[in-house]
Amino acid sequence: MDIRYKPDRPGKIRFGRIFSLATLLISVAALVLALRKPQPVAPRQTPAAIAANAQSFQAKVSQLEQAREQGQSGSEVRLTAGEIGAAIAQAQGAVPASPAQGKALNAAGPPADTSAAAAPGSVEPANLQEPIISFEGDIVRGQFVTEVAGKKTYVTVAGHLGSKDGYATFEPTEFKVGDLSVPVSLVNDALQKKMLEQQDRLKLPDFVSDVRVENGQLVVTQK
């Protein structure tokens, strides 16, 4: 039997090279998108606005506590994304404690220390670990900064917030690294596992029975 070597056709070789090149370009593009800074999920608040929103947050939470002390049940308060974000920023010690101090800072101009400018909607501080919050319909969207292989990376996650057995729950509907969208099915198991590990931090206050996002606000229901 005469068996002779038959080289691959030139068209097949060119197709293989094109496929390899396309795969490389897609990989590079994905990496660039993953490292790119995305659009902030919420506008930046002024120091005065943060102080006022943080004060409003505390007042609304106090309403629920007072309702419980008075023997009432089922009371609700609605919190805006600005109020939630301001409370987070104030807890980090990055904002003034009162609206008056916030107005004074506004009048004096931007702070010299850039870390003190951390506010909802601002994704600049590399050490910001807590999420920047926004609400849209019944969706909560959070954005935070982390480091991957020494590179500052922006992570955006969105989903449905709820509660079960006295703990907050979260079902993701969107996950992005930089500007790169990642299928939720690839990250949901890891996210739920991480939430179980941090379950103590997800425990609702004793006077709260339910939390949910509705019409662009966080609805907190008192027991």
pLDDT tens for 97-131 read 555 544 444 444 444 333 333 333 333 433 444 56
Per residue in 66-98, pLDDT tens? 888 888 888 899 999 999 988 887 777 655 555
Cβ proximity of 10 and 153 under 8 Å = no
Number of helices and strands (H, E) in the chain? 5, 8
CB-count exposure of residue 196 (10 Å: 0-12, 13-18, 19+): exposed
Report the share of the chain in percent with pLDDT over 90: 26
pLDDT at 56: 94
Asked if pLDDT for residue 181 goes beyond 70, the answer is yes
Which pTM value belongs to this model? Answer: 0.67
For residue 174, pLDDT beyond 90: yes
At 79 the pLDDT is 94
Q: Can you tell me the distance from the alpha carbon of 95 to that of 87, in angstroms, rounded to the nearest whole number?
A: 9
Per-residue pLDDT at 154: 85
